[in-house]
């Protein structure tokens, strides 16, 4: 069987685990576990949700080396994905009902963009820090054609109204309405 119906766009391993996550042009994210005696992988979980293929994926929980086997709560077993549909999503590797799309509304309002179904351009990169996630935005994204970086609150699954930019950065085609 093929891993995905079409090209694979990203592959990443979970820190310290025999688990690999892949995303593909079929708009799915799949988790594979390498636990067979011959070293081959089997499909562990599969998720769909983006209306277009995921461009970036990252496991959330690997930095703290926490997993469900450590008797932690399910919030430390999640995958963040950025889709070519302009959305950021998270899916829980243990509990399906905790899968969510991040809200962009506060950020879009600050940018003066309030049209229905409007989203940021494709996310071409992101990074996240797990420490002190309750205290401030801990996820930063960069988007195609944008010269600014946007800050998100991972715990609340929402974009903040914080925009990181410098006057010498060029190319931002979204409006920003100053406070």
Phi, psi of 65 (to 5 degrees): 55, 35
Structure confidence at residue 55 (pLDDT): 79
Distance CA 84, CA 131 (A): 28
Identify the segments of the chain with pLDDT beneath 70. Answer: 1, 49, 62-76, 114-117, 169-179
Q: Any bridge partners for residue 101, and if so which?
A: 89
Structure confidence at residue 38 (pLDDT): 93
Distance CA 57, CA 79 (A): 7
Structure confidence at residue 141 (pLDDT): 92
Phi, psi of 101 (to 5 degrees): -100, 135
CB 45 within 8 A of CB 65: no
CB 29 within 8 A of CB 83: no
pTM: 0.71
CB 148 within 8 A of CB 95: no
Q: Any bridge partners for residue 21, and if so which?
A: 12, 31
Q: Which residues fall within 8 angstroms of residue 6, CB to CB, at 6 or more apart? A: 24, 25, 26
């Amino acid at each position: 069987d093929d891993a995905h119906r079409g090209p694979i766009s990203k592959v990443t391993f979970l820190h310290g685990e025999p688990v690999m996550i892949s995303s593909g042009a079929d708009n799915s994210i799949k988790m594979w576990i390498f636990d067979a005696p011959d070293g081959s992988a089997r499909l562990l979980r599969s998720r769909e949700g983006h209306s277009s293929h995921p461009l970036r994926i990252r496991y959330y929980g690997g930095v703290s080396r926490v997993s469900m086997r450590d008797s932690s709560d399910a919030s430390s077993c999640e995958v963040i994905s950025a889709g070519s549909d302009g959305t950021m999503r998270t899916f829980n590797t243990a509990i399906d009902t905790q899968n969510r799309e991040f809200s962009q509304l506060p950020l879009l309002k600050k940018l003066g963009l309030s049209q229905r179904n409007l989203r940021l351009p494709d996310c071409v990169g992101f990074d996240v820090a797990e420490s002190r996630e309750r205290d401030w935005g801990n996820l930063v994204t960069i988007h195609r054609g944008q010269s600014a970086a946007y800050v998100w609150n991972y715990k609340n699954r929402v974009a903040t109204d914080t925009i990181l930019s410098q006057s010498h950065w060029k190319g931002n085609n979204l409006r920003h309405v100053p406070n």
